[in-house]
Amino acid sequence: MRAGIFTVTLTDIQDMGIQDTRHFRLSFDPGTVFDYEAGQFLNIMIPTPEKVLKRPYSIASSPTWKGFVDLCWKRIPGGKATEYLWTLKKGDKLQIQGPLGRFTAQRPLPKTIVFVSTGTGIAPFRSMIHDLLEKGEQLQILNIFGNRYDEDILYQKEFEELALKHPNLKNIFTVSRPKTWKGESQYVQFLLSKHLASPADTHVYICGLTNMINAVVESAAAMGFTKEQIHYEKYD
């Protein structure tokens, strides 16, 4: 589908974690067609006195869920985009541009896909994981997801329930500043080799900030992953 401009209605807002992060649901008018691939993003149109700003956000919902898209936003103090978004309430209208981007699962699919993310970098992987599972794709999925604090693991219960229903999904949550957390506490780049025996017939998808991505790419390369097996999208 070619990118277009759409007016949507904000129909749900949920506060998540302790790092000023929210889950938003944007609903389309009845009859609107908005087809996209899991992993793509859209631009939010931010009105300012000078001009309309465009800010990209990964779509966090599965393409099979029609009539709306989910987004996950972290507030940036002083940031024009999120300061505006934090003033919105249910029922408000806003404009989006999309779908955009090519950060999607490459075909043919490998035997194993490893998703590595931190914070709101989980957004495109929430979309991809649901899409792959709903389509019954025959592959192993390893979801390595890092956060600072116990309370910050976005969509934790949802991913845990998915793993119970789908044995081919394994979640590895890690918390770098644990309070009562008893699971992994290492940074995500150290967990790739710990939980993956071989890079054979495996692709790695990484989403988050540049420093984390560089560290994971370095770890993957040391394991023998080729450039063609590594895909990433930067959030800074």
pLDDT single digits (tens) 211-228: 999 999 999 999 999 999
At residue 17, the pLDDT reads 72
- For residue 77, is pLDDT > 90? no
pLDDT at 80: 80
The 3-state DSSP class for residue 105 equals coil
Contact 68, 11 (CB under 8 A): yes
Q: Break the chain into its structural domains and give their ranges.
A: 4-100, 112-234
Q: Which pLDDT score, from 0 to 100, does residue 130 have? A: 98
Tell me whether domains 4-100 and 112-234 share a fold: no
Q: For strand 202-208 and strand 112-118, is the pairing parallel, antiparallel, or unpaired?
A: parallel
pLDDT for residue 205? 98
Check residue 78 and give its pLDDT.
82
Q: Examine the pLDDT at 19 and tell me if it is beyond 80.
A: no
The answer to whether the beta carbons of residues 55 and 46 sit under 8 Å apart is yes
User: Is the pTM higher than 0.75?
Assistant: yes
Percent of the chain at pLDDT > 70 equals: 99
Q: What integer is the mean pLDDT of 95-117? A: 97
pLDDT at 124 over 90: yes
**What number is the average pLDDT over the span 78-89?**
87
Does domain 112-234 match CATH 3.40.50.80?
yes
Q: What mean pLDDT do residues 55-63 have?
A: 97
- pLDDT tens per residue across span 175-190: 999 989 999 999 999 9
* Mean pLDDT computed over every residue of the chain: 95
The one-letter amino acid at 45: M
What CATH number was assigned to the domain covering residues 4-100?
Answer: 2.40.30.10
Average pLDDT for residues 199-203, to the nearest whole number? 98
Render 27-43 in DSSP notation, one character per residue. EEPTT------TT-EEE
Alpha-carbon distance of 55 to 44, in angstroms, equals: 5
Structure tokens belonging to residue 132: 């792959």
Question: Would the pLDDT of 1 be above 80?
Answer: no
Q: What is the pLDDT of residue 2?
A: 78
- Whether residue 79 is predicted with pLDDT greater than 90 in this model: the reply is no
Question: What is the distance between the alpha carbons of residues 58 and 60, in angstroms, rounded to a whole number?
Answer: 6
The pLDDT assigned to 62 comes to 98
Size (the chain), residues:
236
Model confidence at 133: pLDDT above 90: yes
